[in-house]
Structure 1
Amino acid sequence: MKTLQNLIDGQWADSRGEIFLDLVNPATEEVIARHPAGSPEDVETAVAAAIAAQPAWAATPVAERAQRITAWADAVAAHADELVELECREMGKPLGIGRTFLDGAVAGLRAAAEEALSYDFERTVVRPDGARTRILRHPLGATAVITPWNFPVTAVLAAIGPLLASGNTVVVKPSERGPLSVVRLLELADMAPGVVNLVLGDARAGTPLAEHEQIRLVHFTGSVATGKRVGAAAGLRLHRAVLELGGKDPVVVDAGVDPVATARAVAFGAFINTGQICTSMERVYVHCDVAEPFVEALVAAAEGFTVGNGLDDGVMLGPLVDRRQRDLVARHVEDAVHKGAKVRTGGGVPEGKGFFYPPTVLTDVDDSMLVMTEETFGPIAPVVVVDSFEEGLERAARSKYGLAATVYTADPDHIDASARIPAGVTWINQWQGGGPERLYEPAGDSGMGATGARAAFDAATRPASMHIPAATA
């Protein structure tokens, strides 16, 4: 059985900790690898390597840094099938879905390299009297990227491009529930020693990394509770944090839309990756004029998803990542049913091996239920019938979360009104979408720190000005 190692200063090495964790295939419940639980000593060594490598990396011309990043993107693209299979084995994502998101992540990494070539790391403003002000964007130094298990490779690539392109070095700490594909991802990175480092483990690695005095920025994607601790640790040290945390994303379905086509789109947004996406549709508000055909079509779409091992042909939904996650999903459904919700399809833990749960549609739900207030992260679509579009918007905004939202409407005024939903991203008549120009910051408990487009480079650099009088040569 493979025992995973850390990557520190360009060398793969065993952890200095003595505790190891088993990595379990969630479709078969077989142990497929073991990896370190993490240790402060591993983190200290990795951070020291990142600090030592940072001056030379920052002095490397931007074009060369961008070229290295692009070469990494090329290598990831060439090994995409391998990476997607590893993700499937460690967290259950079907191959087709995994490939779609991985291709998007590669495109994002290329876009970050391209953006670096036009970003104003330095510009000069000349005043009428001849005096000059040089505005410089300095890299922060050693940074950390702490990523979740639902998109192991994609989450690393989404965060790391602007950090590296800006001249920072990075210590990556993937989730202990999905490290296998990230190890392979780092094997494909042709960087100078210490520029990109990897430490494995759970909170025994994550906490000392997030709290390290010399980590100047932590880019964290994960739970609200952990994200708040990461943000607090950064604040105490006057360091930066970019936090993308939980979501309970709403979808508002207006009167006048095609209820069948919209239901199919909502089914995809609610169930794909077994609902294990931060921006999954977790609350559905449908106008009473189209509610009946919408719910019928949503149930039919749910029953059309093939559930099974993501390595098998034709499988659309794999397992949940582990027993703990499936127990949480089941508990949310049981709580809803106990409080009066009606299960229209799904709603039970199947027999046999694997942490599977069927696509589930619930009606007669209300805000007393966990499935409407807490992040479920499973293939559950709770549906609320509303009397007006305005009521749908109001209820969509009634959440402590504010990651993303989706609105289906044919009314231009309603499209404009949708901007009132407190969310970092609002999609109209589609789920997902937008190009590299997309810029957002989560609202509420869903996080803080703007990302996307040039905002990611702003976060990765520190502005400074140099004022030069006209008399100076």
Structure 2
Amino acid sequence: MPASAAVEAPVYPPIQLYIDGAWTDGSGSRREPVYDPATGEVVGEVPVAEAADLDAALAAADRGWRAWRDTGVEARSAILARAADLLRERAGQIGPVMTLESGKPLREATGEVQRAAFQLDWNIEEGRRAYGRIIPTGPDEMLSVVHQGVGPVAAFTAWNFPIGGPMRKIAAALAAGCSIVIKASEEVPATAVALVRAFHDAGLPAGVLNLVFGVPAEISTHLIASPITRFVAFTGSIPVGKHLAGLAAQRMLPTIMELGGHAPVIVCPDVDPAAAARSCVRGKFVNAGQVCTSPSRFFVHEDIHDAFTDAFVTAAEQLVVGNGLDAGVQMGPLSSQRRRQAVAGLVADATNLGARVATGGTALAGPGWFYAPTVLTDVPAQARVLREEPFGPIAPILRYADLDEALAQANSLPYGLAAYCFTHRADLAARLTRELEAGILSVNHVGGSVPQAPSGGFKESGHGREGGYEGLADYLETKRISHKLAI
């Protein structure tokens, strides 16, 4: 369903690096363009950090960490809480800028700002509760365990959640008493600038948080090789994650790797197929399917396959697609022409092998990088869309007769980030939650990540967790202290 014409876009702000508590254009002259995915037009440019800028950010992070770790938890928490309040106050201004550079609907963008503030709230409270313990021993000795921030963090985030992605790393690092140098995405830099500005305006000491943009390989190599860096956190593709983990391994640095997925959905015959389909559509087309936990392989029991597919197609065709700044838009464009070409290539490969397009399957006419919500049926096993993370608005629906068969196919890939299942039978729910190989599992809904619970993957989808107490724990070192009370 088409949307109305795009409304006037907000003024795109100037983009700068943030190093040692100050905004800077950087030491070099290289710049990269920033595009509006809804029009394909250039809206701004982002400075590329040079080696001198990265060295300055690392030195600042080293100084900032030493000051921040020695700041009392109450003082730290007050600054972070003020930053969360500023984000809430500014959500109405940040949201449209995020939509302009990412394409996601304004409601999603503004909601992402609010959720980022809640992410910070959660980590503030977890930072207050990074408890150690006293271990019983003899009367002349005190044996204890304490948890301390690991030190300066090098973090790298993707473009699909312009504020939520960076905040998951910044919030945990700062709440744990660490400093951080974060390379946010060059495709959505203005949102990252707005996020960092909230911390700056809240009074965060210089050097504790540093923001850089530039050539990913240059920045990751430089930051990870530095003796200042103590921890690496990355969200992105599996190949890049493996590369960065290899760089970190050369220095024995601990890492969090939140990598790609190809989430299976198993729909059992005891559920209402139309209700399950509507739930799946709501989850599938969030951010135009550009979510690593997006449901992307739908295994539906043969008894309800046709009814589920019909309801899914109807709901997909009712989605309002258009410029995310328009009221009522439910799905925006893909992030880039490159991404749209990748999606089109997956659809072409599947149809060439015999898959049927139930709806969509085409780029939408007009400016911007729009692609229609697409449903594929009769997809052969060798189709790339069943093996490669689609990261777009494609939903292949597959028929199964036996649950053993469905589970085998669901678990057959090296991915293990998210999985979904629909059943009202307790025995089936117990089996599915036990046997589906994924770090995030949703039953009878297609939900997103929440700050109070851990998110992360099995197998090649990564290691470590973000969210919950597990997310903070990764940013803490454990120290055992044995204290003889007398010599």
TM-score with structure 1 setting the length: 0.96
Shift of the alpha carbon at 1:470?
5.2
Out of 99, 109, 112, which is 1:98 matched to?
A: 109
Change (3 A) 1:151 1:437: closer
1:250 maps to 264
Of 125-134 and 3-12, more deviation after overlay is shown by 125-134
Residue ranges of structure 1 left out of the alignment (5+ in a row): none
User: Does the aligned pair in 1 maintain the 2:449–2:455 contact within 8 Å?
Assistant: no
Whole-angstrom CA distance in 1 between matches of 2:295 and 2:193: 30
Change (3 A) 1:287 1:130: farther
Whole-angstrom CA distance in 2 between matches of 1:29 and 1:434: 30
Counterpart mapping for 1:171-250 below 5 A = 171-189=181-199, 190=202, 191-203=204-216, 204-250=218-264
1:30 maps to 41
Whole-angstrom CA distance in 1 between matches of 2:412 and 2:233: 27
Shift of the alpha carbon at 1:215?
1.1
Aligned length: 471
Structure 1 counterpart SS, 2:285: helix
Of 163-172 and 461-470, more deviation after overlay is shown by 461-470
Whole-angstrom CA distance in 1 between matches of 2:49 and 2:130: 37
Letter in 2 for 1:196: L
Structure 1 counterpart SS, 2:97: helix
Change (3 A) 1:56 1:92: same
Letter in 1 for 2:179: T
Instruction: Answer yes or no: is 1:338 the counterpart of 2:349.
Output: no
User: Does the aligned pair in 1 maintain the 2:87–2:114 contact within 8 Å?
Assistant: no
Structure 1 counterpart SS, 2:441: strand
1:465 maps to 480
Whole-angstrom CA distance in 2 between matches of 1:71 and 1:83: 17
Counterpart mapping for 1:308-327 below 5 A = 308-327=322-341
| CA deviation map 1:39-91 (0-9, x unaligned) | 22221110111101111110001122122111111111111122211111101
Whole-angstrom CA distance in 2 between matches of 1:278 and 1:415: 23
Instruction: Answer yes or no: is 1:155 the counterpart of 2:162.
Output: no
Whole-angstrom CA distance in 2 between matches of 1:96 and 1:388: 40
Change (3 A) 1:434 1:31: closer
Change (3 A) 1:134 1:69: same
Out of 284, 305, 314, which is 1:300 matched to?
A: 314
Whole-angstrom CA distance in 1 between matches of 2:67 and 2:449: 35
Letter in 2 for 1:192: P
Shift of the alpha carbon at 1:367?
2.7
Letter in 2 for 1:88: T
Instruction: Answer yes or no: is 1:136 the counterpart of 2:146.
Output: yes
Whole-angstrom CA distance in 2 between matches of 1:230 and 1:319: 30
| CA deviation map 1:212-245 (0-9, x unaligned) | 3321111110111111111111111111110101
Shift of the alpha carbon at 1:420?
1.1
Shift of the alpha carbon at 1:131?
2.3
Out of 355, 368, 379, which is 2:369 matched to?
A: 355
Counterpart mapping for 1:8-27 below 5 A = 8-27=19-38
Of 186-195 and 338-347, more deviation after overlay is shown by 186-195
Change (3 A) 1:28 1:441: closer
User: Does the aligned pair in 1 maintain the 2:37–2:335 contact within 8 Å?
Assistant: yes
Residue ranges of structure 2 left out of the alignment (5+ in a row): 1-11
Whole-angstrom CA distance in 2 between matches of 1:71 and 1:130: 44
Counterpart mapping for 1:42-191 below 5 A = 42-120=53-131, 122-189=132-199, 190=202, 191=204
User: Does the aligned pair in 1 maintain the 2:453–2:469 contact within 8 Å?
Assistant: no
Shift of the alpha carbon at 1:441?
3.6
Shift of the alpha carbon at 1:440?
4.4
Whole-angstrom CA distance in 1 between matches of 2:466 and 2:13: 36
Whole-angstrom CA distance in 2 between matches of 1:269 and 1:436: 18
User: Does the aligned pair in 2 maintain the 1:255–1:389 contact within 8 Å?
Assistant: no
2:7 maps to none
User: Does the aligned pair in 2 maintain the 1:406–1:429 contact within 8 Å?
Assistant: yes
Instruction: Answer yes or no: is 1:455 the counterpart of 2:470.
Output: yes
User: Does the aligned pair in 1 maintain the 2:13–2:190 contact within 8 Å?
Assistant: no
Change (3 A) 1:101 1:390: farther
Structure 2 counterpart SS, 1:465: strand
1:445 maps to 460
Out of 432, 444, 447, which is 1:432 matched to?
A: 447
Shift of the alpha carbon at 1:98?
1.8
Tell me the C-alpha RMSD between the 2 structures. 1.5
Structure 2 counterpart SS, 1:293: helix
Change (3 A) 1:212 1:267: same
Of 146-155 and 96-105, more deviation after overlay is shown by 96-105
Shift of the alpha carbon at 1:101?
2.9
Structure 2 counterpart SS, 1:414: helix
Whole-angstrom CA distance in 2 between matches of 1:319 and 1:288: 33
Shift of the alpha carbon at 1:301?
0.6
Change (3 A) 1:2 1:313: closer
Out of 422, 427, 434, which is 2:437 matched to?
A: 422
User: Does the aligned pair in 2 maintain the 1:308–1:317 contact within 8 Å?
Assistant: yes
Shift of the alpha carbon at 1:263?
0.4
Letter in 2 for 1:405: A
Letter in 2 for 1:145: A
Letter in 1 for 2:155: V
1:394 maps to 408
Letter in 2 for 1:467: S
Identity %: 35
Instruction: Answer yes or no: is 1:273 the counterpart of 2:287.
Output: yes
User: Does the aligned pair in 2 maintain the 1:329–1:376 contact within 8 Å?
Assistant: yes
Whole-angstrom CA distance in 1 between matches of 2:411 and 2:360: 28
Whole-angstrom CA distance in 1 between matches of 2:224 and 2:406: 39
| CA deviation map 1:272-314 (0-9, x unaligned) | 1100111111111001111010000000011000110000011
Change (3 A) 1:309 1:207: farther
